[in-house]
Structure 1
Amino acid sequence: MAAAARKCVCVTGAGGFVASWLVKLLLSKGHYTVRGTVRDPGNAKNAHLKALEGAGERLQLLSADLLDYDSIASAVAGCEGVFHVASPVPSGKSTNPEEEVIAPAVTGTLNVLKACYEAKVKRVVMVSSVVAVSNNANWPKGKLFDEDSWSDEDLCRKGEDWYFLSKTLAEREAFAYAAKTGLDIVTICPSLVIGPLMQSTVNTSSNILLNYLKGERDTVENKLRNLVDVRDVADALLLAYENPEASGRYICSSVPVKVSDMISILKTLYPMYTYPKKFHRSGGKYHL
C-alpha cells in the first residue's frame, strides 16, 4: 500500500502489556502506520516491538512522558487516531498516591487529550478499567454492573484504592473534556487482563496469576475473578476505533470464574507447580 494511503495512529505506552498486542494488531492490518510512545526507544525492553512484522517500515518509537505536554504533542501531531493506553499501575502500596498514581493518570490523560484536540485527531480510544465501574456501594444489589455505573471516588479514597481512583478520575475527566471540546472519545474498561507476554517484564495483572503458581500461600480467598484475554482487549480497542457508531464506554470482560476453578485449570496445564491447597469464602463483590 502506498505510504500516502496509510493511516497514522499513535499508541501511548507502546511497550506495555496491552499496548504491545495493540501495536502488533495494528501493524498486521497493513494500512496503519504506528507511532508508539515509550520512555526510551533504545531500551532493550522495547526490542519486541521492533521485531514485529511490519515494524521496520511502519512503526516509529518516540520518547515521550505523559507529564511533558510538548513530547506528547509531538507524538500525536499528524495522527488520525490515538490509542491512550499508558497509565501507571502500582505494584504495591504507594507512599505518595497523589503524585505517583493519580497525577500521571489524570494530568497525563488531559495532556494527551489536549494534544489530540490541537492536532485535530478524529478519534481517541482510551483504556480505562472495570475498577472505574465496580467500586460502587450504591449500585442496586444483585444488579449486574454495566456502563452506567461509576466507582465512588470517596469510597476509593476511604479504602485507599488509589489505582481505582486514578482510573475513575481519568475517565471522568476524559468525558468532561469531550463534552467541552467535541473531541471524539471512546473508552474501553477491561477486567483483569491476562494472556501471553510479549514484553520482557512481567506486568501487574500477570503477576496476580503467577502468584497462584508460586505456592507462597497455603490458603487463598475463593473470590470471583473477571478475566479478559489481552488479545481480545486489543481487538476491542481497534473495533472501538474503526466502528463509526462506537461512543461512550464499553466493559470488556468474560464470565466470572472462581479462583478455585482457575487453579484447577492451571494444575491441569502445569502440574509441576505448588498451588494453594485451601480456599476460604469470599463475598463475591463484583458482578460484571
Structure 2
Amino acid sequence: MNGEGKVVCVTGASGYIASWIVKLLLQRGYTVRATVRDPNNQKKTDHLLQLDVIYSQLIYMSQPLLLILQAELIDPAVKGTLNVLKTCVKMSSVKRVILTSSMAAVIAHASPTGPNGVVDETMFSDPSFCEQRKQWYALSKTLAEDEACKFAKANEMDLIVMNPGLVIGPILQPTLNFSVGVVVELTKGKDPFMSKSYRFVDVRDVSLAHIKALETPSANGRYIIDGPVIATLKDIEKVLREFVPDLCIGDDKNNEDIDLDLVTYKVSVEKVRSLGIEFTPTETSLRDTVLSLKEKCLL
C-alpha cells in the first residue's frame, strides 16, 4: 500500500491504459482523481466504478499531488497536453507529471534502424518524415511530446515521459481500442500491419511502469516500454489456435518483400527495467487478451 495518503490525478481515465493505471493505483492505496470528457457517459465510465477496489477513493475532480497525463486521449494532442501542463504550473500541489507518449514518437524517421540497430530513449521521430509519409498519429505524438518537454524545462516541471509500443492484454473498458483490435484481426487470420512480425507489450506492465515512475524519486526523462521479444506470425498463430483451431494467418498475402525494419529492430528496455519492471511473456498477453475479449463479447 505505497500510496496511502497520496492523491494522483489520471486524465482520460476511461481509456485502455489509463483504466489499468487507475486500477493499479487504487490497489496500491492511492486516492485517484480521474478526469474524463463526460462523467455522465455511463458507457465510458461505469467500468471505473466496477473495479475491485474501494470505490470511495475514485473521485472526479482536480488538485492532485501527482498527475498522469494521457496525451493520446486529448484532442488536439498538442494543445490539450499544453493546456493541462499550464494548469499544473498554477497548482503547487502537483509534484510530478507522467506523460503517456508512444513509440511512434521514437521510431518514425528517415534513417532505417535495420535488423541490427538498437532503439533507445535518445531517438526521436522526425516531424518532417511523419508529414511526408502521412503518419499523422506519429506526428501528433512527436509534436505533443516535444512541446511538453520544452514547456516542462522552461517551467522547471518534473516531467517524465513514457513511450509504450503496441499494447495488448486484458481490457477493462467495454469497447475495443485500436491496439487490442490488432489481436482481433489476427484471430480472423489477417495480418493488419502486413509485417509478418509483431512486438507487443502488456498493458499491465505499461501501467505499472507509470506508477513506478511516480514512486521512484530518481526517475527522469523518457522510458521506452516496448516488448523486448519479437513474435512472428507463426508464434502468434500457435497461441491463438487454442481459441481458433482452424486459424491460418496471412497465408493469402505475399509478404516476402515487406520492409521489416520497423519491427525487427532491437529495443533497449534497460531503463524501464531499472524501475523494477518485468515483462509479461507475449504468449500470456495474447491469451489474456483473447479471454478478456471473449468475456466482454467482443470476439
Flag whether TM exceeds 0.5 (same fold): yes
User: Share of identical aligned residues, percent?
Assistant: 41
Q: Superposed, which structure 2 residues align to 1:178-193 within 5 Å? A: 178-193=152-167
The structure 1 residue matched to 2:100, chosen from 119, 124, 127, is 127
TM-score when normalising by structure 1: 0.82
TM-score when normalising by structure 2: 0.80
Q: Superposed, which structure 2 residues align to 1:68-87 within 5 Å? A: 75-77=61-63, 79-87=64-72
Query: What do the CA deviations read for 1:106-152 (whole angstroms, capped 9, x no partner)?
Result: 00100111111111210001111001000122366532111100001
Equivalent residue, structure 2, for 1:262: 236
Are 2:207 and 1:234 aligned?
A: yes
Opposite residue 201 of structure 1, the aligned amino acid is T
Q: What's the secondary structure of 1:249's corresponding residue?
A: strand
After superposition, the Cα gap between the structure-2 partners of 1:197 and 1:20, relative to the gap in structure 1 and judged at 3 Å, is same
Equivalent residue, structure 2, for 1:93: none
Equivalent residue, structure 1, for 2:34: 36
For 2:31 and 2:237, the matched residues in 1 are separated by: 41
Question: 1:56: Cα distance to partner?
Answer: 2.1
RMSD, aligned CA: 2.3
Equivalent residue, structure 2, for 1:71: none
For 2:84 and 2:157, the matched residues in 1 are separated by: 12
Q: What's the secondary structure of 2:40's corresponding residue?
A: coil
Structure 2 gap ranges (5+) = 268-299
C-alpha contact 1:10 1:81 (8 A) present in aligned 2: yes
C-alpha contact 1:85 1:127 (8 A) present in aligned 2: yes
Q: What's the secondary structure of 1:268's corresponding residue?
A: coil
Question: 1:54: Cα distance to partner?
Answer: 3.1
Equivalent residue, structure 1, for 2:218: 245
For 1:269 and 1:144, the matched residues in 2 are separated by: 34
Question: 1:51: Cα distance to partner?
Answer: 1.2
Question: 1:275: Cα distance to partner?
Answer: 4.1
Q: What's the secondary structure of 2:72's corresponding residue?
A: coil
Question: 1:42: Cα distance to partner?
Answer: 2.6
Q: What's the secondary structure of 1:235's corresponding residue?
A: helix
Structure 1 gap ranges (5+) = 62-74, 89-100
Are 2:194 and 1:221 aligned?
A: yes
Query: What do the CA deviations read for 1:62-87 (whole angstroms, capped 9, x no partner)?
Result: xxxxxxxxxxxxx432x110000142
After superposition, the Cα gap between the structure-2 partners of 1:26 and 1:284, relative to the gap in structure 1 and judged at 3 Å, is same
Q: What's the secondary structure of 1:129's corresponding residue?
A: coil
Opposite residue 257 of structure 1, the aligned amino acid is A
